[in-house]
Chains A and B, each alone.
Chain A
């Protein structure tokens, strides 16, 4: 199994922590599913100290924390946010998001490469939220990234793998690089498909948090990524157009 900056994950599900109906449901979604990586963010602290109780809960879960730079639109903003996140969360991991388009939340890949280079030189271990573009992937690796996280579909859209052909090409192009499908997953079948393609993990949030029963959906996603991973390792058959009988023809009775 490919390691993420030297860390081997116990399972291939990375789960976001936003939009759950309550902190208790968020907690149970992690506990019952067993998801081992939690994405988190930084926002303005209020007088009530809401951030502190959230941080306590995440710490008690004992999961690996992956802070993001969600909502950043410039290199400077993202780099500053990353530095603040490293101090608060005490980890070199950073999910680098540089948003280029307001409606699709498509990554601005030009700024992404630049920010990735700056952060890598500063000792960060960057998880870039990118598109499925192979050249951008190469540039990110050249900038020092050792993980790539192409989108499945726009964040929160639940559309699944919008460009499966390109995701398969990316897997083939970067056989040694840990790859994560990040964003766009709506159903367990989407998550399973990503794993069947040979991806190393799936990162999702909305599909679980906004389901009527987030705890059950988190567990369903875990079963899906495990099934997809096992299927990939088992080396599935190629699809074909014509039938081939599965029951032996030899020995069939003459009736």
Chain B
């Protein structure tokens, strides 16, 4: 399935958001959004991905 992950086009096998994180080795403390809507960690396993989804995986970073 073709999706966009953090702005990059990707072809992935995962069918849910939780599987996507495992497949792309994005573990640890991250927050997720799909198509500009926040998906809490507890809902990732039940969140089915669809063709063309835009997924954002964000992590702690330096800030002012």
Contacts and interface: CB of A to CB of B under 8 A. Distances in A.
Interface residues of B, number: 26
Contact of A16 (B24, B29, B63): B63
B40 A42 contact: no
Give the most central of B7, B25, B36, B56: most A CB within 10 Å: B56
Interface string B38-64: 101100000000000000111111111
A206 B33 CA distance: 30
Contact of B28 (A43, A49, A70, A83): A49
Contacts of B40: 83, 87
A131 interface: no
A55 B7 CA distance: 23
Interface in A81-102: 83-85, 87-89
Interface of A is mostly: mixed
Given A44-B57, A45-B6, A87-B41, A80 B33 contact: yes
Contacts, number: 107
Contact of B58 (A16, A43, A76): A43
A49 B31 contact: no
Interface in A22-56: 26, 39-45, 47, 49-52, 54-55
Interface of A: 16-20, 26, 39-45, 47, 49-52, 54-55, 58, 67-68, 70, 76, 80, 83-85, 87-89, 155-156, 183, 205-206
Interface of B: 6-7, 24-33, 36-38, 40-41, 56-64
Given A40-B63, A80-B33, A205-B64, 11 more contacts: A39-B64, A40-B60, A42-B61, A50-B61, A54-B59, A55-B28, A55-B29, A55-B59, A83-B31, A85-B31, A88-B60
